[in-house]
Amino acid sequence: MSETQYSTVLVGTGFASSFFLAKHLTHAKASDRILVLERGARDSHKWQVEHRAASSTPVHPTFRKEGDPSKDWVFTLGFGGGSNCWWACTPRMLPNDFRMHSLYGVGRDWPVSYDELEPWYQTAEEMMAIAGPNDGSPYPRSKPYVQPAHKLSDPDKILKRAYPNHVFSQPTARASKPMRGRGMCCANGVCTVCPANAKFTIDNGLRHIYADPRVTVRLGASVESLEYAGNTVNGVRFSEAGNSQRVSADLVVLGANAIFNPLIMMRSGLADPLLGKRLHEQLSVLVDVDLDGVDNFQGSTVITSLSYMFYDGDHRRERAACMIEGWNKPTLMRPENGKWRQSARYKLIFEDLPDDGNCVKLDPSSPNRPILYFKGHSDYAHRSIDVLESQIVSKFLRALPVERIYYNKAIASTEAHIIGTTVMGNSAKDSVIDRGLAHHHLRNLLVLGSGAFPTCSPANPSLTISALSLWAASRLSSSTT
């Protein structure tokens, strides 16, 4: 092989790329050469803690917003991508989330089922050493969690007694005991940079894959476009220190997130009907509660519980599912003497339905800088916000002794999840990639990440992104062996 010829070129070093690479290396040949192109820098955990920053690589101005001015999109550039800044909440999606259209007549079905993904959820959870409940689960599991569940707070325990099948300790990659060089989570709630190195990151959990002799990592290498002939990608163009470079590979894998994957594809002249479309994410509102005589904050991590009673069911024909996080962040205490621990915060997270009109667009006058157009969340999601007090919070809080409820009806500007711009499906007519995450037309191009998701569900996406990458890499190995 020449210096510019590789067996695989992988773009990005976040969850999508790293879980793919971890599995890919298990079946790659000793002679294979894998090039990883990462546009950002590699900042150590020490650097991040000292600078209170997840990365030294600036995010702005890498995109421009149009449409709803209150909508934000957040992510981290640099080695490890969003694993540096994430809060490590790792619920799986529910089996019914994969069948929204068949069951509820809205959204789309995924071309992959929960049962097909289950072994890869399990593997991803083992790789991240997830702490989670082994005394019940909202979804079927083939094996127990690796780490014991985090301790619930007293209000969580009251809710759990009232709704035993709907309230669970939150599965999380924030360690409940020291493991694999990670510290134990101490519930201080500054997870964007974890001083205890307790949450899983690519750096503390998968660093070894980037030290594999078959792998070369080039930092500061920003991929711009792909070259192709017929149904094969034959070149990857990137810029490094201001110089334009080209490499070629038998397999090209994009893991640059749901903004930059479609941008690279659009800059390459690809024009799949849904490319860049269906940009969406979940939406959330906060509800704060003064408790009457019940102390809080006994939990062992920042978010201790997940409640599912308003998640799945027939209401999803009309309005969005809701998943409720119970927060255990000590800064949320009350000021009144004798009552300072008698408060609770709940974050209600709603799914949204994608709309083809919301999209990542190429700006011909500034091709490095995509436009993110978002006109607003769907009526489907708003119908659930409309019944927040009457149908959701009033029923949820019935089990707790409540003194006062504070509704913050402002929808958060972002959930920090970017979803749906390279959607997966069974046909090139209504999707960009197939169920193995391969482009329908360019068969040696894989497009990883949450851009593939046909619908978002209320669940945080990174565990599903990781499971999908493992699944895609495993399918590749079975088709080449």
Binding site for ligand SF4 (CB under 6 A): 174, 185-191, 194, 196, 198-199, 301-302
Q: How far apart are CA 151 and CA 99, in angstroms?
A: 33
Query: Does residue 89 belong to the site contacting ligand FAD (CB under 6 A)?
Result: yes
Residue 407 Cα to chain centre, angstroms: 27
Using the rule CB under 6 A, which residue among 132, 138, 205, 255 binds ligand FAD?
255
Q: How far is the CB of 147 from ligand SF4 (least distance, A)?
A: 13
Pair type for strands 243-254 and 5-11:
parallel
Q: How far apart are CA 298 and CA 151, in angstroms?
A: 8
- Residue 185 binds which one of ligand SF4, ligand FAD, none, with CB within 5 to 8 A depending on kind? ligand SF4
- Residue 78 binds which one of ligand SF4, ligand FAD, none, with CB within 5 to 8 A depending on kind? ligand FAD
Using the rule CB under 6 A, which residue among 9, 16, 198, 468 binds ligand FAD?
16
Beta bridge partners of 11: 37, 254
Query: Does residue 75 belong to the site contacting ligand FAD (CB under 6 A)?
Result: yes
Query: Does residue 121 belong to the site contacting ligand FAD (CB under 6 A)?
Result: no
DSSP label of 199: B
Stretch that binds ligand FAD, among 76-84, 147-155, 332-340, 371-379 (CB under 6 A): 76-84
- Residue 199 binds which one of ligand FAD, ligand SF4, none, with CB within 5 to 8 A depending on kind? ligand SF4
| Binding-site string for ligand FAD from residue 384 to residue 423, where x marks contact by CB under 6 A and - marks none | --------------------------------xx------
Q: How far is the CB of 323 from ligand FAD (least distance, A)?
A: 12
Q: Using alpha carbons only, what angle is made at residue 126 by residues 121 and 129, rounded to the nearest 5 degrees?
A: 120
- Residue 282 binds which one of ligand SF4, ligand FAD, none, with CB within 5 to 8 A depending on kind? none
Query: Does residue 326 belong to the site contacting ligand FAD (CB under 6 A)?
Result: no
Closest CA to 118 of 89, 146, 92: 92
Closer Cβ to ligand FAD, 80 or 111, answer by number: 80
Query: Does residue 425 belong to the site contacting ligand FAD (CB under 6 A)?
Result: no
How many CB atoms are located within 10 Å of the residue 51 CB? 12
Tokens standing for residue 390: 């009457």
Residue 184 Cα to chain centre, angstroms: 23
Q: Are 25 and 209 within 8 A, CB to CB?
A: yes
Q: How far apart are CA 401 and CA 162, in angstroms?
A: 13
Nearby residues of 388 by Cβ (< 8 Å), 6 or more positions away = 285, 287, 348, 407, 409
Q: How far apart are CA 132 and CA 151, in angstroms?
A: 10
Beta bridge partners of 322: 350
Query: Does residue 245 belong to the site contacting ligand FAD (CB under 6 A)?
Result: no
Q: How far is the CB of 74 from ligand FAD (least distance, A)?
A: 4
- Residue 323 binds which one of ligand SF4, ligand FAD, none, with CB within 5 to 8 A depending on kind? none
- Residue 174 binds which one of ligand SF4, ligand FAD, none, with CB within 5 to 8 A depending on kind? ligand SF4
Nearby residues of 60 by Cβ (< 8 Å), 6 or more positions away = none
Sign of the C-alpha dihedral, residues 70, 272, 351, 89?
A: negative
Q: How far is the CB of 195 from ligand FAD (least distance, A)?
A: 16
Using the rule CB under 6 A, which residue among 14, 133, 155, 171 binds ligand FAD?
14
Q: Which amino acid is present at 201?
A: T
- Residue 194 binds which one of ligand FAD, ligand SF4, none, with CB within 5 to 8 A depending on kind? ligand SF4
Q: How far is the CB of 186 from ligand SF4 (least distance, A)?
A: 5
Q: Which amino acid is present at 60?
A: H
Q: Are 467 and 450 within 8 A, CB to CB?
A: no
Q: What DSSP letter does each residue of 112-174 carry, written as one string?
A: S-HHHHHHHHHHHHHHHT-B--SS--SS--SS--SBPPPPPPHHHHHHHHHSTTTEEEPPBSB
Using the rule CB under 6 A, which residue among 132, 133, 370, 449 binds ligand FAD?
449
- Residue 120 binds which one of ligand SF4, ligand FAD, none, with CB within 5 to 8 A depending on kind? none
Query: Does residue 465 belong to the site contacting ligand FAD (CB under 6 A)?
Result: yes
DSSP label of 393: I
Token look-up 């040949």 returns: 29
- Residue 461 binds which one of ligand FAD, ligand SF4, none, with CB within 5 to 8 A depending on kind? ligand FAD
- Residue 462 binds which one of ligand SF4, ligand FAD, none, with CB within 5 to 8 A depending on kind? ligand FAD
Closer Cβ to ligand FAD, 117 or 397, answer by number: 117
Closer Cβ to ligand FAD, 228 or 294, answer by number: 228
- Residue 316 binds which one of ligand FAD, ligand SF4, none, with CB within 5 to 8 A depending on kind? none
Q: Are 342 and 296 within 8 A, CB to CB?
A: yes
Query: Does residue 88 belong to the site contacting ligand FAD (CB under 6 A)?
Result: yes
CA within 13 Å, CB half, 15: 30
Closer Cβ to ligand FAD, 204 or 462, answer by number: 462
User: Where on the chain is the footprint of ligand FAD (CB under 6 A)?
Assistant: 11-17, 37-40, 74-78, 81-82, 85-89, 192, 222-223, 255-257, 260, 264, 416-417, 449-450, 460-462, 465
